[in-house]
Amino acid sequence: MSKVRIPTLAGIRDAATLLAAPFASTPLMRSVHLSKALDADVWLKVESTNTIASFKSRGATVAITRAISGRGVTEIVTSSTGNHGQGVALASQQRGIPCHVFMPADPNPVKLAMIESLGASVHKVGHDLDFAKAQALIFAADRGAYFVDDGEDPDVMEGAGTVGLEIAEAFASIDRVLIPMGSGNLAGGCATALKAIHPLARITAVQSSQSPAMAESFARKTAVELPAHSLADGLECRVPAELALERVLALVDDVLLVDDEVLLRACHTLLELQHLVAEPAGAASLAGAASIRAELAGQTVVLVISGGNLTPAHMAAAIAGERLI
């Protein structure tokens, strides 16, 4: 059982009051083409229409705003493969607070450049996110800085959960919501809001089969550490976070695994059918939906498109491949 407080619908509603456009009220649009292809009423919740092209600004903004108000924070530290780091860097920059982001030694070049352009000091260490996080925690403790934890911080999760709140409040009823999952912060936060308002809605998280730790942990109902080598850096997780896993186990109905090649085909599909740029992690919800299309027939389905930080190399690979559906 986690020692930190559990995110709640009330906490998510409060988090929503701390957000403004373009980080809140992101587009929720019906896809005519995907509805036909999946024989369902398919809607896209597009989280790539803000400064950092990712939902991660929500959790970072909420956590840092609350930390400044309640703790008098003067320096910020975090670890990230990219999108969370951008969110933390932007929220820190907007508040004039120094920010340090620890990333794996070979980070996504697009996301690295964005973090640096937002004024954060980047520390590239180790082979994956979990190693970078361990080093970041030591660094933060030594300096007495506030560590923004993507996976163990209920404020970050409640910020991410505002995505689910916006979806829940837009529909009288929903059958299924599919959500990309790396550490599980977005899935846990969204499920908190969605299950409180639409208890019969089925929540499905989607992870890369090249980074299956959270999926295997979900199946075994306990934390399982596994290698993470996905091209979708936003879906990577080697060591499950306690709070995120706890919430996923409590609220998520099922977890799907999809191959990286399928993620690229989902990127291609969104680009061709919706003229929408999504990174491989951001397109995971569509990849998952395509794998269970027979189950979705006739349902109202929402796909969370979590980010659009597509590298030129991944875009070229996606375009060169086939459409998914």
pLDDT band (50, 70, 90) for residue 179: very high
Is the pLDDT score of 218 beyond 90?
A: yes
Q: What is the pLDDT of residue 71?
A: 81
- The topology under which CATH files domain 56-148 is Rossmann fold (3.40.50)
Q: What is the mean pLDDT of residues 253-266?
A: 98
Round to whole Å and give the CA distance between 156 and 146. 13
Helices (H), 275-308: 284-291, 293-296
Residues 173 and 198: beta-carbon distance below 8 Å: yes
Q: What is the mean pLDDT of residues 112-116?
A: 96
Q: Nearest 5°: phi and psi at 23? A: -85, -15
Task: Tell me the two tokens of residue 166.
Answer: 């916006």
Task: Tell me the two tokens of residue 36.
Answer: 């036909």
Q: What is the mean pLDDT of residues 212-232?
A: 97
Task: Tell me the two tokens of residue 127.
Answer: 């082979």
Round to whole Å and give the CA distance between 263 and 244. 23
Reduced to 3 states (helix: H, G, I; strand: E, B; else coil), residue 25 is coil
Q: What is the mean pLDDT of residues 5-14?
A: 97
Which residues does 63 contact at the CB level (< 8 Å), separation at least 6? 148, 153, 155, 156, 159
Question: Which is nearest to 299 in space by CA: 153, 197, 176, 148?
Answer: 176
Q: What is the pLDDT of residue 250?
A: 98
Q: What is the mean pLDDT of residues 214-227?
A: 97
Strand stretches in the chain, DSSP E: 28-30, 41-46, 76-79, 99-103, 121-124, 146-148, 176-180, 202-208, 254-258, 300-305
pTM of the prediction? 0.96
Is the pLDDT score of 238 beyond 80?
A: yes
Is the pLDDT score of 190 beyond 50?
A: yes
What digits encode the pLDDT tens for the residues 16-54? 999 999 999 999 999 999 999 999 999 999 999 999 999
Round to whole Å and give the CA distance between 30 and 17. 26
Is the pLDDT score of 2 beyond 70?
A: no
Round to whole Å and give the CA distance between 25 and 49. 10
- Rounded alpha-carbon distances, angstroms, from residue 259 to 9, 177, 223: 33, 20, 22
| Sign, CA torsion 36/38/41/47 | negative
Residues 76 and 64: beta-carbon distance below 8 Å: yes
Q: What is the pLDDT of residue 9?
A: 98
**Domain residue limits, the chain:** 9-54+154-320, 56-148
- The topology under which CATH files domain 9-54+154-320 is Rossmann fold (3.40.50)
Q: What is the pLDDT of residue 310?
A: 92
Q: What is the pLDDT of residue 1?
A: 44
Same fold, 9-54+154-320 and 56-148: yes
pLDDT band (50, 70, 90) for residue 70: confident
Is the pLDDT score of 154 beyond 90?
A: yes
Round to whole Å and give the CA distance between 194 and 203. 8
Mean pLDDT of the chain: 96
Question: Do β-strands 176-180 and 76-79 pair in parallel, antiparallel, or remain unpaired?
Answer: unpaired
Q: What is the mean pLDDT of residues 195-214?
A: 98
pLDDT band (50, 70, 90) for residue 4: confident
Q: What is the mean pLDDT of residues 175-182?
A: 98
| Burial classification of residue 10, based on how many CB atoms lie within 10 Å of its CB (0-12 exposed, 13-18 middle, 19 or more buried) | exposed
Is the pLDDT score of 3 beyond 90?
A: no
Lowest mean pLDDT among 35-44, 65-74, 261-270, 291-300: 65-74
Residues above pLDDT 90, as percent of the chain: 96
Instruction: Quickly count: other Cβ atoms within 10 Å of residue 272's Cβ.
Output: 14
Reduced to 3 states (helix: H, G, I; strand: E, B; else coil), residue 13 is helix
Q: Give first-to-last CA distance, the chain, whole Å.
A: 41
Q: Which residue did the predictor score with more confidence, 268 or 73?
A: 268
The label of the residue with tokens 């499950």 reads 240
Q: What is the mean pLDDT of residues 102-108?
A: 95
Task: Tell me the two tokens of residue 158.
Answer: 């409640």
Q: Nearest 5°: phi and psi at 256? A: -110, 145
The label of the residue with tokens 């004024």 reads 119
